[in-house]
Amino acid sequence: MQIDYSTPDQYALALLPEILLSVWALLLLMVDVFQKGDRSVPSSPAIGWLTLAGLAMAAVANGWLATLSETGSTGMIALDSFRIFSNYIFLLAAALFVLISARYLEDENLRLGELYVLALIATVGMMVFAGSRDLMVIFLGLELMSVPVYVLTGVNRRDRRSAEGALKYFLLGAFSSAFFLFGVALVYGGAGSTNLSLIAAEVGVDGLGANALVLTGTALLAVGFGFKVAAVPFHMWTPDAYEGAPAPVTAFMAAAVKAAAFAAFLRVFLTAFPGLYDTWDAMAIWLAVITMVTANLVALVQGNVKRMLAYSSIAHAGYLLVALAAASRLGSASFLFYLVVYTLMTMGSFAVVIAVGRRGEERLDLEAYSGLAWERPWLAVAMTIFLLSLAGFPFTGGFIGKVFILRAAVEKGLVLLAVVLVLASLLSYFYYLRVAWYMWFREPVAGGTDAIIVVPPGMKVALGVAAVGVVLLGIFPGQLLELAERSAATLMQQPAPLFGIGDR
């Protein structure tokens, strides 16, 4: 079916997954209101299952987008494989969030149906953010994603850390939005359009069509994206917001929000400013270096596992910036593959943090993991898999993702950047393996953990999916890599190879 964007119903077809998820979120809110009847009554556990049903419907609609095609490339919404691939990442992260959050919300007396509604609306924002082809619509998606996450960060009003983290996130998020919007205005003033394809045509393949307004606007857009992906030095909000937010929300922020910001980052810079690569590549390279080195050094001294994972997520932003700096089809493909693996291992590791930590998140230090392998061996095995993948050990998805990012960097001539990535990954081995050492080689803490750790069925499903996914992608990465390459090829308007990632 051809979409020409000439009428509103054409846009409705192109936005079907987002529309379905938005309508379902509103219906879910009404169901929750009528089910409770009184503010003092907690939401029914069925709200979580209904949320999963909405995500499943959106996933089916997202797959249906593959049957559509568009005439031209000036529509505000992209109908390409990159958008479809990215949407599945966001939907996967949202589903894992629902599965790992039920027990936590009950223990913290936060059984609020609106939390799931906010997560659905934020997911819609992510899909619009990463799937739009116009800077103004991208900004609308950015805000639609950010505002619900601000609320989710501070939802535990009884916890001062949660309120502090939400306030810092909101204030610095407002700054990042201002930078981004000012950048949009300058690009529009210099290029005469906010459409990514028209901007690229105005700038030209050699960048000679760019002027001071476009160059300044590009820099401001990069700053705005830098805040959202938590790249150093724009990461100041991240540790406090991640530590203060409820643990399931932290996982959602670290995985889904960051994936959406990176997907939009890649789309904007590779679609609108490929002719300016020689201008913005140095910025991406230095951001990647500073982010990888700083985050890993700070993570080394963290005794709080949740805060350590927060700095770990910043370090992984640096690894993804290497793929952006490569600005090639292989770099984009490895970028998408790594986003999938990153989502699985991040959501999985935070699920273990939720399971080990009891009410009030009192058990977040390393000592809480002492002897976990003897009390909950399967939980320790899952956490070990996630830690090894985060570090980049062989036979894990994290290793494969880093190998292809390194390959893309070397083929682009960024050898020193590849060396920094390797050294930064080696540095991370210490704090990842330290947690594993506590689990497997330390005696259990006094009183044991058997009476504390309770893993509900939903969390077991999430942990199983994440752990098995990380291992399978480390051993059999071929199909996902090929799919990622084909998706990246549509983003860069290049034909995909017939025989997968190795045939370029």
Quickly count helices (H) and strands (E) in the chain: 21, 2
Residue 200: name the closest of 132, 123, 145, 277 by CA: 277
User: Is the pLDDT assigned to residue 449 strictly greater than 70?
Assistant: no
Confidence at 493, pLDDT banded by 50, 70, 90 = low
Name the token pair of 405.
Answer: 């990012």
Averaged pLDDT for residues 400-418: 93
Cα–Cα distances in Å, from 171 out to 150, 165, 228? Answer: 10, 10, 13
- Residue 454 is predicted with a pLDDT of 75
User: Is the pLDDT assigned to residue 501 strictly greater than 50?
Assistant: no
Q: How far apart are CA 373 and CA 453, in angstroms?
A: 12
Name the token pair of 58.
Answer: 């959106």
Confidence at 360, pLDDT banded by 50, 70, 90 = low
Share of the chain above pLDDT 70, in %: 93
- Residue 346 is predicted with a pLDDT of 93
CB 340 within 8 A of CB 276: no
Name the token pair of 391.
Answer: 């570090």
Averaged pLDDT for residues 439-452: 68
CB 126 within 8 A of CB 119: no
Averaged pLDDT for residues 162-168: 85
Residue ranges of domains in the chain: 2-36+43-491
Q: Decide: helix, strand or coil at residue 77.
A: strand
Q: How far apart are CA 423 and CA 335, in angstroms?
A: 19
Lowest mean pLDDT among 12-16, 49-53, 418-422, 431-435: 12-16
pLDDT digits (tens, 9 = 90+) for 342-358: 999 999 999 998 888 76
Q: How far is CA 386 from the centre of its chain?
A: 16
Confidence at 7, pLDDT banded by 50, 70, 90 = confident
- Give the chain's mean pLDDT: 87
pLDDT digits (tens, 9 = 90+) for 44-59: 778 889 999 999 999 9
**Residue indicated by tokens 């959106």:** 58
Q: How far apart are CA 481 and CA 485, in angstroms?
A: 6
Q: How far apart are CA 18 and CA 299, in angstroms?
A: 37
Q: Decide: helix, strand or coil at residue 236.
A: coil
More confident position, 209 or 385: 385
Phi, psi of 365 (to 5 degrees): -85, 170
User: Is the pLDDT assigned to residue 498 strictly greater than 90?
Assistant: no
- Residue 415 is predicted with a pLDDT of 93
Share of the chain above pLDDT 90, in %: 53
Averaged pLDDT for residues 183-202: 91
pLDDT digits (tens, 9 = 90+) for 62-119: 999 888 777 766 678 888 889 999 999 999 999 999 999 887 877 777 767 788 999 9
pLDDT digits (tens, 9 = 90+) for 228-263: 998 988 888 888 888 888 888 999 999 999 999 999
Alpha helices in 357-477 (DSSP H): 372-375, 377-391, 397-411, 415-441, 457-475
Q: How far apart are CA 406 and CA 185, in angstroms?
A: 35
